[in-house]
Structure 1
């Protein structure tokens, strides 16, 4: 399987909380020009959790229509209810998305039976290809390898898995179990720095938010991986390890990424959904310091 790096793209808003149509188009062009392998709209970095369904549908139409097959488009269609998740998955599929990505309901921890019921019900009600999204720090529970295997056995349209965990042993065990029976199942890591480890374990690559800022770094890294150029792989690893400092500048990191994009000269604005605050002066200074360290300024 060819390694890929996908961007969980930021969503750009105006000061009133409406979609900034031109800024969203600008960032899609920026990512495509930078050689990224695919764009994930309304992942966690895309602030889906603060967007009403009507706005999500507006963004789906914008993204799929504007990107227009220039790269793969995946849509996060996660909702707290099964009914809304099915509605959004079908909307994205009918709009022309290549696949959807779904995190299971959060707030309460769920039993294994509840998790399986959720995904089985959604998968049976849509023709969309589905990427499971595991993010225990947000849901409060793990989408285990055993649950995943049962889901994949039952649902042909569950084709991949994003594993947003720092411990690579979790991802490695998942890859080992699932791909022994389903060799084409696509397992992607959710932290930028884990790309090479994921590939060496047999995974498909990564979905990482820092690629919003410098897609050319990550497309170059992927090229090195696919060419088995270990010196280049190590060179890019060192750059990305330094870039990871951006995640620690603010909580959440989304306004930091948007500000960094502005500092680099990408034609976007850094408004976020409430109550996320724009980067302050001190944080902006820290952003600039990291960008200078990796020669982005």
Structure 2
């Protein structure tokens, strides 16, 4: 299933008391849709999902679906390292109207590949919603092997994977061995163009909060056959992508949004806001972010 080419892994706006800010959420959703976003991934890593309660997630997901109003697909994070809890949340989230769910590889438990397969299959079997897998070994410790992802792609409603392993050989194998209907998204902004070049569909992006139109321009240039221009875009955007990960995410992207007047508040503990020095370093990049076009 193709959810679009540039999906934004959306931050969760908080107010000064650290509660979900629904007015800011409306503004952010409209900003993203107006600036290159083809779909929203909510309640993921960038959305600070570990700090949200299940009740908060359900209320937040329902609100985002309402604001989006069918303009773009909404994919909601419902995975955790607890299979039963993931099944419970996934089945509850069906009532919010989201278009699909995203399931992260179980962290901390360190399951085997068979354990990973059974975990994802059990959750997928519990829902009628399409499922996007999320492989991010840098955070979950475990890496989903290409063989496991290929096996899971045969489960009827597992339709996509967000690949954040950084292993192009593994991504190539996944694309080669899955059907054309199974979509593979880069989970790393800097790997977008390389993954497109081996047959990937697009990116689940953090940087698109800030450079969404430019990310979309790069992707469209590649698909239109202007590889040279797409490559130039990649080189020019890469420093901005890196700046947004100079400190643990999503602190930098939230700070950048606030600097640009799209107020989303701070992060929840155990994440911390950028220091004054870190903000100053990020601020130096902001003039480069306010670009109409690149190239």
TM, length-normalised to structure 2: 0.93
Q: For residue 108 of structure 1, report the CA deviation from its aligned partner.
A: 2.1
Residue in 2 aligned with 1:228?
Answer: 225
Equivalenced residues, count: 291
Alpha-carbon separation, structure 1, partners of 2:260 and 2:90: 34
Deviations 1:45-79 (A, max 9, x none): 00011111111111111111111111111111112
In structure 2, relative to structure 1, the CA distance for the partners of 1:15 and 1:239 (3 Å cut) is same
Conserved in 2, the CA contact under 8 Å of 1:243 and 1:290?
Answer: yes
Alignment of 1:130-141 (within 5 A): 130-141=131-142
Conserved in 2, the CA contact under 8 Å of 1:171 and 1:189?
Answer: no
Q: Is 1:193 aligned to residue 190 of structure 2?
A: yes
Residue in 1 aligned with 2:169?
Answer: 169
Q: For residue 101 of structure 1, report the CA deviation from its aligned partner.
A: 0.6
Backbone CA RMSD of aligned residues? 1.8
Alpha-carbon separation, structure 2, partners of 1:239 and 1:160: 29
Secondary structure at the counterpart of residue 70 of structure 1: coil
Alpha-carbon separation, structure 2, partners of 1:131 and 1:59: 19
Secondary structure at the counterpart of residue 133 of structure 2: strand
Alpha-carbon separation, structure 1, partners of 2:3 and 2:40: 17
Alpha-carbon separation, structure 1, partners of 2:121 and 2:287: 47
Alignment of 1:221-260 (within 5 A): 221-250=218-247, 252-260=248-256
Conserved in 2, the CA contact under 8 Å of 1:40 and 1:73?
Answer: yes
Higher helix share: 1
Alpha-carbon separation, structure 1, partners of 2:260 and 2:18: 23
Q: Is 1:52 aligned to residue 53 of structure 2?
A: yes
Secondary structure at the counterpart of residue 214 of structure 1: helix
Alpha-carbon separation, structure 1, partners of 2:234 and 2:43: 26
Residue in 1 aligned with 2:77?
Answer: 76
Alignment of 1:102-141 (within 5 A): 102-141=103-142
Q: For residue 233 of structure 1, report the CA deviation from its aligned partner.
A: 0.7
Residue in 2 aligned with 1:281?
Answer: 276
Conserved in 2, the CA contact under 8 Å of 1:249 and 1:286?
Answer: no
Unmatched 5+ stretches in structure 1: none
Deviations 1:266-296 (A, max 9, x none): 2x13321112211221111111112234545
Conserved in 2, the CA contact under 8 Å of 1:212 and 1:261?
Answer: yes
Alignment of 1:18-37 (within 5 A): 18-37=19-38
Secondary structure at the counterpart of residue 46 of structure 2: helix
Conserved in 1, the CA contact under 8 Å of 2:4 and 2:39?
Answer: no
Residue in 2 aligned with 1:290?
Answer: 285
Conserved in 2, the CA contact under 8 Å of 1:3 and 1:225?
Answer: no
Q: For residue 167 of structure 1, report the CA deviation from its aligned partner.
A: 2.8
TM, length-normalised to structure 1: 0.92
Secondary structure at the counterpart of residue 270 of structure 2: coil
Residue in 2 aligned with 1:265?
Answer: 261
Secondary structure at the counterpart of residue 74 of structure 2: strand
Structure 1: which 4+ aligned runs deviate by more than 6 Å?
Answer: none
Q: For residue 202 of structure 1, report the CA deviation from its aligned partner.
A: 1.0
